[in-house]
Structure 1
C-alpha cells in the first residue's frame, strides 16, 4: 500500500460534504449561480468590446474582472457539481489536473487583487488628475496595466506552486472540495517550512499592497472631493468609486475568511463552504454592481435588447 500512495499520480478529492437531503438543493443553487456568472460576465464583456462608445479605459480595465470570474469559476464549479453526484470513492483526480486546478484557483484569487488595484489607479487619475487623464490612460497604458496585473499574479502563483510540486507525496486525499496549494503540500510528509514561509509572505505582500493601494487611492480622492466645490465632479466620483470599492470589499472579505479558516482545522466544514462562496459571490455581484451603477452600460444593454426583441425590418 505504501508503494501505491508514495508519489501517486491518482488523488482522491473529498468534495463538498452535504447531507443526502441537501445534495440536490445545493447542486441546483451552485449550478444556477454558475450559469448566472457565465451569462452575465460574458455578456457584459461582449457588450463592452462590441460598443465603440464603451472603449474607454475604465470599461476596458473592468473587463479583466469578468474574464477572471469566468476562468476562476469554470476551473472549480463544473468539477464540484460532478463530484456532488458521485459517491466519495469515485471522486478521483489526476495529480497533473489537480496542479492545474490549484494554479488557476490561485491565479483567480491573486488577479482579483491586482486587477482591482489597476482599476483604482484609473479612478485616481480620472478624479485627481483629470486634465492629464487622456494623455496618460492611452490604449498602450491600458495594455501595460493589464499585462502587469496578470504578470504579477502569474509570477507569484508560479513560485507558490513551484515550491509545492517539488515535494514528494505520501498520501492521496485532497481534504478540500477542489485542489489548492495548501491541500497539495499537505499531501507531503516532508518539511514544508519553506512553503509555509513563502505562503505567508505571499499573503502578506498581496494583502498589504492591495489594501495600501486602496487606502492611498481613496484618501487622495476624498481630499480632492472635499476641496472641490464642483457637485457634479463629487457626484460622479462617489458613483464610480463606490462601485469599485464595493466590489473590492466583497472580494477582500470573502478571501480573508478563507485565509483565516485555513488556520483553524476544527472549522474545516465552514472553510469548504467559504472557498466556494469566494468564487461564486464576487462573480455574481460584480456584473450587477457595475451594470446597475453605469448608465453607459445600461443604455447599451437596453439598446441591444430592444434591437433583439424588435429587429428592424
Structure 2
C-alpha cells in the first residue's frame, strides 16, 4: 500500500502534439460559454416578462453550466498553455474538484426534472398551475435541486478521500470520484464507496431521468387527445428541455460506459470521454435556450439590436 498524497493527471500527455491548437479552441469555447450563458441570464433577469417558473429554471440550469465550466476550463487552459505534460494535484484538491463537478452535473439532472414538472403541471394540470408552481415553491425546488446533490455527493467525496490508494496516475483532464475507487487498493472501504455511489446515483440521476421520461410521456398522451394547435404549442415549449435532457443523458452515458471499461480502454478514450462530458452540455445549452425558446430569442434580438443602434 502506498502513502499517496498527490495524484498525477496525465490526460494532457495524450494531447501534447496539439496543445496550442487545443488551447485556442478551448479558450474560444470558454469565452463563448461565458458570453452566451451570461447574455441569456442577463435577458431572463432583466425582463420582467420572463420572471416565470420555466425561465427561472432555465436561468438556474445555465448558471449551473457556467459554474461547472469555470471549475474546469481555466485550469485546463493554464495547463495547456503554460503547464507541463502532466498535472500534479493534491488528493484533497482533487476531491474538492470532483465534488464540485459531480454536484453540478447531478444538479443539472435535478433541474431538468424540475423543468419537466413545470411543463407537466402547466399542460396536464393547468388549473392548479398557479397554486402548485408558486414563487415560493420554485425557490424551494431550486434549493432542493442544489442542496440534495451537494449533500449526497459530499458524502461520496468523503468516502473516496478516505480510501487507501495504490496508484497515483489518471488519464484524465480533471478529477472524478469514481477514479478514487479505481486507484484504491480495494477492500471493504472500496466496496462501501462503490455501493454508496450506486445509491447516490440512483437518487440524483436515475430517478430524475425516470421522472423526466414519465412527465413527457404524460404530456405526449395529453397532446394526442387535444387539438393540433394546442399540441404544437405545448410540444414547442417542451422541445428545448428535451434536447438538453438528451444531450446530458448521452454525455453521461458515454462517461459511465468509459469509466466501467477504464482498465481496458486506451488512455485517449478516457481523455475523450472526460472532454465530452464537459464540452457538449456547456456549449449546447445556451444555443438551445437562446434559439429555441421564442420568448428568450425575441428579447435577445431586441437587446442586440439596441446595442447595434447605440
TM-score, normalised via structure 2 length: 0.92
Q: CA deviation at 1:171?
A: 4.1
Conserved 8 A contact 1:48-1:55: yes
Matched residue, 2:258: 261
1:154-193 residue pairs with structure 2 within 5 A?
A: 154-191=150-187, 192-193=190-191
Q: CA deviation at 1:28?
A: 1.9
| Alpha-carbon distance between aligned partners in 2 of 1:220 and 1:170, rounded to the nearest angstrom | 49
Matched residue, 1:236: 233
Question: Which shows bigger deviation, 247-256 or 284-293?
Answer: 284-293
| Alpha-carbon distance between aligned partners in 1 of 2:217 and 2:16, rounded to the nearest angstrom | 50
| Alpha-carbon distance between aligned partners in 1 of 2:253 and 2:209, rounded to the nearest angstrom | 12
Matched residue, 1:195: 193
| Alpha-carbon distance between aligned partners in 1 of 2:65 and 2:12, rounded to the nearest angstrom | 21
Matched residue, 1:252: 249
Matched residue, 2:93: 97
| Alpha-carbon distance between aligned partners in 2 of 1:100 and 1:143, rounded to the nearest angstrom | 26
| Alpha-carbon distance between aligned partners in 2 of 1:32 and 1:25, rounded to the nearest angstrom | 11
Question: Which shows bigger deviation, 10-19 or 112-121?
Answer: 10-19
1:306 paired with 2:302, answer: no
Matched residue, 1:130: 126
1:143 paired with 2:139, answer: yes
1:68 paired with 2:64, answer: yes
Q: CA deviation at 1:172?
A: 3.3
Matched residue, 1:216: 214
| Alpha-carbon distance between aligned partners in 1 of 2:205 and 2:45, rounded to the nearest angstrom | 31
Matched residue, 1:28: 24
| Alpha-carbon distance between aligned partners in 1 of 2:216 and 2:26, rounded to the nearest angstrom | 35
Superposition CA RMSD, Å = 1.9
Q: How many residues align?
A: 305
Conserved 8 A contact 2:109-2:208: yes
| Alpha-carbon distance between aligned partners in 1 of 2:178 and 2:120, rounded to the nearest angstrom | 36
Matched residue, 1:290: 289
| Alpha-carbon distance between aligned partners in 1 of 2:15 and 2:243, rounded to the nearest angstrom | 34
| Alpha-carbon distance between aligned partners in 1 of 2:247 and 2:233, rounded to the nearest angstrom | 22
Q: CA deviation at 1:80?
A: 1.7
Conserved 8 A contact 2:33-2:282: yes
Q: CA deviation at 1:246?
A: 0.9
| Alpha-carbon distance between aligned partners in 2 of 1:125 and 1:299, rounded to the nearest angstrom | 25
Q: CA deviation at 1:204?
A: 3.5
Q: Which whole-Å deviations, capped at 9, do the CAs of 1:10-63 have from their partners, x for residues lacking one?
A: 332213333544222222222211211111111111211111111011000111
* Structure 1: tracts of 5 or more residues without a match: none
Conserved 8 A contact 2:65-2:104: yes
Q: CA deviation at 1:95?
A: 2.6
